[in-house]
Amino acid sequence: MSVRSTKPTDPDLPKAAGRLAMRVEGDDWVAYYALPDTTTTLFNRNPDQMKKNATRDPISRAFRQDFPEFVERAKALGVRISLSAGKRDGRPRVYWLDGYRQLTGYLTRSDGGRFTSADAAANIDKALAEVEEDRRAVEAMTVAERFARVIGEFRKMTPQSRMIGEVRFPGGDGGHCFFEAEYVGGVRLHEIGEVARAKAEWRRGERDAEHIGRFCDLLEADFAARTNGAAA
């Protein structure tokens, strides 16, 4: 399970190059980018282009060539494996699982040794095994139980201003939240889609845990409304 939060205001992080916001507009997700400390949008990602990208082969053609032994397994799981860098710039190819987990492209192992193609294959095998294991686990869970475990991880976050946070389980269940002047986010479950969405205004004087707790309370209320009060 992956939990990520980005806090550009932390003093030990580089100065942010800009701000990215994801918002739902009708049936589309739209991405907006703006320079720091402005509200001027420099560009927004066209929904039609995003839909076009979504119809592409989910398994990178380069990955098919480099690791053919994993292609059918990845296709059966319905995961996306993309290529972000490598070869042309002289570095090893970097493949990502569903855009959140790096599979290859490391230079050294944790023990200091050289990261080889065999290490890359082992890393891919482990990542796919974790997807398979989590998918088997959710088969024995109700939708409410799956939602509850995502919310449980959300409540552990420590939000700060201008934060993007994400919870992701290997099988695909997860959620996200974006904060600028308010908390906006939702929860999605694999093969079901969005099961909750909420927006919570920021209140001066509240502690971090109170902010995220109130946001999670609203997510739970929206989930209950959509599922006729299903118990977690």
Whole-model pTM?
Answer: 0.71
**Does one domain contain both 145 and 135?**
no
Helix residue spans in 67-198 (DSSP H): 71-77, 117-139, 143-154
Q: Report yes or no on 191 lying in a domain.
A: yes
Counting Cβ atoms within 10 Å, is residue 196 exposed (0-12), middle (13-18) or buried (19+)?
buried
- Cβ(157)–Cβ(165) below 8 Å: yes
**Does one domain contain both 41 and 100?**
no
Question: Which amino acid, residue 138?
Answer: V
Mind listing the pLDDT tens digit of every residue in the chain (232 residues)? 665 554 444 444 444 455 555 544 444 455 554 545 443 333 444 445 445 555 578 999 999 999 999 999 999 999 999 998 766 656 788 999 998 899 998 888 888 899 999 999 999 999 999 999 999 999 999 999 999 999 999 888 765 555 567 889 999 999 988 776 677 889 999 999 999 999 887 777 666 677 788 889 999 999 999 988 654 4
**Does one domain contain both 13 and 69?**
no
Over its C-alpha atoms, the chain yields an Rg (Å, rounded) of: 19
DSSP string, 34-65: E-TT---EEEE--HHHHHHHHTS-SB-HHHHH
Q: Report yes or no on 232 lying in a domain.
A: no
- CA distance linking residue 160 with residue 180, whole number of Å: 9
**Does one domain contain both 31 and 84?**
no
**Does one domain contain both 147 and 178?**
yes
Range of the domain at 80: 57-139
**Does one domain contain both 130 and 175?**
no
**Does one domain contain both 145 and 47?**
yes
Token look-up 């946001």 returns 215
State the total domains in the chain. 2
